[in-house]
Chain A
Amino acid sequence: MDAESRLLSIADPSRPNAGRIYDYMLGGHHNFEVDRQAAETVVQIAPFMSKSLILIRWFLGEAVRRLINQGHDRFLDFASGLPTMEHIHEIAPPGTRVIYSDIDPVTVEYGREILGGNPNVRYVECDAGRPEDLLGSGVPEPMFGQERRLAIGFNGISYFLPDETLRHALRTLYDWAGGGSSLFLCDADADMSRVTDKIKTVFDIYSKIGQPIYIRPKERLFELAAPWRIEEPGPLPLDEWVDLGKVYTPEEQAEYGGTGFFGVIFRK
């Protein structure tokens, strides 16, 4: 599906959309009946999926707190979703500059309403697979000035991007970012040849709505992210990041043919 058709489907309330399914699973109201039905189908097949999606949001909060403690005060976030509580600008101290972005024009409009007139926060439309559109849009310069030491969020999106698109996106960000920049990212450590039929059914649902899922072992992700280098504490399962103890059963974890969702912070 080309980019334009994908965009059209996003703003089309008659077709389910991955972003709105995600919103529903997180307990949001930014979704339509088609999205809720698709989400319920996914939850019925794989109940633990909603836990994974919630953990992704919580990881984002943990990573942001860690990066703020390291002195980061400029954040650039992709596939942001709604900038509600516990999102970057809510956690960060006043004066922190944040640019959110999302491919979904409705989310972008909604996000702008939520942010109101906050001068330190911008929300722009951008496909995470083509960050150059945002970087070259003229938006970053007035927000970040000449400073290129950034914290870049890339969460809950990697598995929607094919390998080469992901490599391109992360490399583009690496080239643009200054030394000392950080990239916080979460993905699913998974092996398509070993995923269970249950998960394959979930993937089929996403394929049918035109948003196929591209899973990969975490070692492959690290290859694609090069030359970003992994920072302490390294790749950890998402439940370890939020200190909730083990939230997945061993059976649930085995569904992906890997160790499941993990979060990692990279450094340039």
Chain B
Amino acid sequence: MSDEYLVEARGLSLRYGAKTAVDNIAFNIPKGRVVGLLGHNGAGKTSLMKALVGLMPASQGELRVLGLDPLRQREQLLAGLSYIPDVAVLPRWARVDELIRLMSGLQPSFSAERARALLKRTSVSPRDKVKTLSKGMVTQLHLALVAAIDSRLMILDEPTLGLDVMSRKGFYEMLIDEWCDGERSVLISTHQVEEIETLLSDVMMLDEGRLVLNISLEEIDSRFVALSHDPAAAEAVAAAHPLLRYRQQGQAMALFDGEPLLPLETLGRRVRPSLVDLFMALTRKPDVQATSQV
């Protein structure tokens, strides 16, 4: 294991009793990345995030976060990690400036000054009580608090769940503006694939505990081919073994892993492969996938 990566996992499996949540996966997260962790409910996203912050032991394999063993060196790890769990709750009775004081006492690498500066971006004021804030404002407050920790890795589990459009936009603007500096990385799990597609540098897709895709967005454009085609070409397209065939706004579409042996230009129009389509193609039920895959 090296210092090059902020997260390194080798042959990692996570189990709850007899149930396997994460099944023998390997990946690295380098610095300066925005990594999307995608998966349906029960795919293993939250288990993986728990393991990353030392809340769940690995049943097999090796895991290093910021060069530390998350389970055995949890205290040291949490001192330098920015983490918002999926059930993030800030104490409702607390005032914002009290939370900042509390964080200063708990987190050696927390900067109260930076937290106040970050909050100036939002409509949250230091004298507000948590219970008077909207859900969107609480989430922004939480982001400001964890972004004020001097760390190199942020872990966000479904950070914008239940927020309206404007709050989600504000959240991601703050994340890009105040966190992504080319050195620090962030791992975000979400269901809202379409919405964060352009924010990501990399994507990891989990399906039933297996890592079915781990790729940069740049590689997606060069590796996968999406074709919008004439319905009359359906047979030829099917014979070329697409990963997925589907309809988009009434238009017949096909997604291929690699360049298919087809005269694409005569069959239709080549389009940008979207993350949502790729996600659907790679994480459908095995019996459905078996019929559409090579």
A binds B: no
Which chain A residues have a beta carbon within 8 Å of chain B's beta carbons? none
